[in-house]
Amino acid sequence: MDDIQVMICDDSALMRNLIQRIVDGTDGMSVCATAMNGKFALQKLETVKPDIIVLDIEMPEMNGVQFLEERKKRNIKTPVLILSSIATKGAAVTMQCLELGASDFITKPSGSTSSTITSVSGTIIEKISSYGGRFARLNGKQIPPTETFIQQAKLREAEADAAKKGIIDKIKPAHEAAPSTVLTPTLFATRKKEPDVITPIAEPGPIEIVALGISTGGPNALREVFAAIDPKFSKPILVVQHMPAGFTKEFAASLDRICPLAVKEAEDGDNIHPGQIYIAPGDYHIAVEKSTLCNVIRLNQQDPRNGHRPSADVLFESVAKIYKNRALGIIMTGMGRDGAAQLAEMRRQGAWTLGQDEDSSIVYGMPRVAWELGAVQKQVSLENMASEMSRIVRENGK
């Protein structure tokens, strides 16, 4: 098996070292280069070929935004993962990075010490393995499924927690750890099964609402879908994108700039209007509440579901209850299983359902689970998602 090759670009030597320890301590990925700013990163890209670049925003000489602008000019295809403390204070800058072609972002916890950066190590590993792994596979490398990297991250988190509580004496450094199982394509082949069968209790009715759940790979996937959606799309769209609090308002604004429909961050009590897109706020579940004149959006901070708040399951559950067979449910790229069970309930009620296909998903996790549960009527590529959902709504609206 091949390693995912990672370049780290950050002006902080401490940060470069901390991220390198996380990467090099994970079987199946390694650091191939480091750089203290965008200028040196561009120079090193002439001789090294990383599968992903972890990029700071604030750096001397050439910052992250300037690097992304130059990357675009040079048509460099290597995916970029933004990692910067400025992200929590400057969501607009983070969204600018996404608009310039960055794949996703991770916020540094305040302080960025060894202990605080370890708290987000699982997220770092997940996103490096998702975006870097996919790019490496497209370029002919043999890379284990993303789930194998997540398992390692969870083990390290469990070890750290046990060490903190005094259950184990200490965590062995990666180079002292017991040899790991050899990573082979056969060992980590993703199990596939035929979809379960769901018998709807009603025939699909005229569509009144669209509910969409998405996670890893979502920011750029939603940009592609909403930029290409039919300007005459006549139904409201409610979206759960797994994203930290403080970013969804700017994310909605960035989508609004490229989408022919109005896009906004959802607010509690919003009337649900036709032809508008509502993005669930970070750290809030979004649901639908029936009202006499116009159904409304309700937000809450109840416990996370499937490890997420907002959760696609919460949205799909409320849509299945209120709209029954008069809805379209869509599940797209993402790690885990959020949304799958309640998309199956939407399907059981008679709703129309779509899932993103494996080839175009950054992570074929949520769509795969939904497909295997029998929740998805049809799998669609990212390229065709906008036209397919527009067609279904146009032909089955009222």
Which of these ranges, 152-161, 215-224, 318-327, has the smallest mean pLDDT? Answer: 152-161
What does the pLDDT average to over 150-162? 70
Distance CA 317, CA 202 (A): 17
Per-residue pLDDT reduced to its tens digit, 278-334: 999 999 999 999 998 899 999 999 999 999 999 999 999 999 999 999 999 999 999
Q: Residue 83: what pLDDT?
A: 86
Catalytic residue among 3, 27, 56, 242: 242
Per-residue pLDDT reduced to its tens digit, 113-141: 555 666 688 899 999 999 999 999 999 99
Q: What is the CA radius of gyration of the chain?
A: 21
What does the pLDDT average to over 35-48? 97
Instruction: Indicate the helix (H) or strand (E) that contains 209.
Output: strand 209-214
Distance CA 128, CA 104 (A): 10
Q: Residue 302: what pLDDT?
A: 97
What does the pLDDT average to over 78-96? 84
242 classed as catalytic: yes
Catalytic residue among 103, 121, 215, 361: 215
215 classed as catalytic: yes
Domains of the chain, start order? 4-176 (3.40.50.2300), 209-396 (3.40.50.180)
DSSP state, 63?
Answer: -
3-state secondary structure 93-128: HHHHHHHCCCCEEEECCCCCCHHHHHCCHHHHHHHH
285 classed as catalytic: no
Catalytic residue among 27, 56, 104, 338: 338
